């Protein structure tokens, strides 16, 4: 039904008129077929005569149906946005992120988790309204740090996640450095606060399952916080090599700044 509504809903005035004409023509065809079943082929009316008979009723009914379908389509879009959009930052939310990011992260991509440093202190010192404004500005800062084709979402509280496409080392370092350095935030009380972020990055020379990439990026965030915050860390998965006897040998993961 949702697909039918999307396909049928008018996208503009011209599209509305075209679809209205198609609906009326179909109504005329149905009336013509009914006439054949009732009266048989001899002496039957032409299609155009049956169309003329049907138009008086079909035109207002088809107009109403198209208006109703258009309203339903707009309502579906509005509900989808409300379900998948973060109202505070206008970024996609966790649900959208999990539904629209690839299940497997390729070696040319990278998963990032960005956690705003000491955000609780901002809320406790200046209040939640100022904290909300800080999150909005940080969301804008993160979004402008990325490149076209990269994905960014707020996945909860002061935590954001991103998937970078074509993430070579130079791009990763440039973006992660800018994100971690944060922004100068004015809480409106005469003092400028430097709001930074701890950034965790997961990448591998092999394809990673998204769940594993998120787990590694989260681990890298904790490493960045342990290193003093306002920095980033890169975490790579353990690689397992088969020995001649078939037993796996685990190589240690590494973390790079």
- The single residue of 49, 147, 158, 181 carrying the catalytic annotation is 158
Q: Verify whether residue 147 is a known catalytic residue.
A: no
CB-based contacts of 160: which residues, under 8 Å, 6+ apart?
91, 113, 114, 115, 138, 139, 142, 152, 153, 154
Q: How far apart are CA 128 and CA 140, in angstroms?
A: 18
**Spatial CA neighbour of 73 closest among 3, 1, 5, 4:** 5
Local structure of residue 107 (DSSP, 8 states): T
**SS3 of residue 185 by DSSP:** strand
Buried b (16+ CB within 10 A) or exposed e, 172-187: beebbebbbbbbebeb
Contact 163, 111 (CB under 8 A): yes
Q: What is the sign of the dihedral through the CA atoms of 124, 126, 127 and 133? A: negative
Q: Write out the catalytic residue numbers.
A: 158
């Amino acid at each position: 039904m949702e697909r039918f509504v999307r396909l049928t809903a008018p996208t503009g005035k011209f599209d509305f008129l075209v679809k209205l004409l198609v609906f009326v023509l179909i109504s005329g065809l149905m009336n013509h077929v009914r006439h054949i079943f009732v009266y048989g082929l001899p002496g039957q009316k032409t299609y155009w005569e049956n169309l003329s008979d049907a138009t008086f009723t079909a035109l207002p009914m088809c107009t109403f149906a198209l208006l109703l379908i258009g309203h339903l389509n707009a309502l579906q879009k509005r509900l989808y946005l409300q379900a998948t959009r973060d109202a505070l930052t206008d970024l996609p939310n966790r649900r959208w992120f999990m539904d629209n990011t690839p299940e497997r992260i390729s070696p040319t991509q990278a998963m990032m988790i960005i956690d705003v440093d000491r955000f609780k202190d901002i809320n406790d010192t200046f209040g939640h309204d100022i904290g909300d404004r800080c999150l909005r500005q940080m969301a804008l800062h993160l979004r402008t740090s990325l490149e076209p084709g990269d994905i960014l979402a707020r996945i909860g509280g002061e935590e954001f996640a991103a998937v970078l496409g074509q993430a070579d080392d130079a791009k990763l370092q440039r973006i992660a450095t800018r994100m971690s350095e944060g922004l100068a935030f004015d809480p409106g009380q005469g003092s400028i606060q430097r709001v930074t972020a701890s950034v965790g990055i997961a990448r591998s020379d092999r394809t990673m399952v998204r769940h594993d990439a998120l787990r590694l990026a989260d681990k890298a965030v904790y490493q960045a916080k342990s290193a003093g915050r306002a920095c980033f860390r890169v975490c790579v998965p353990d690689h397992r090599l088969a020995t001649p006897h078939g037993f796996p040998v685990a190589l240690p993961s590494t973390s790079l700044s």
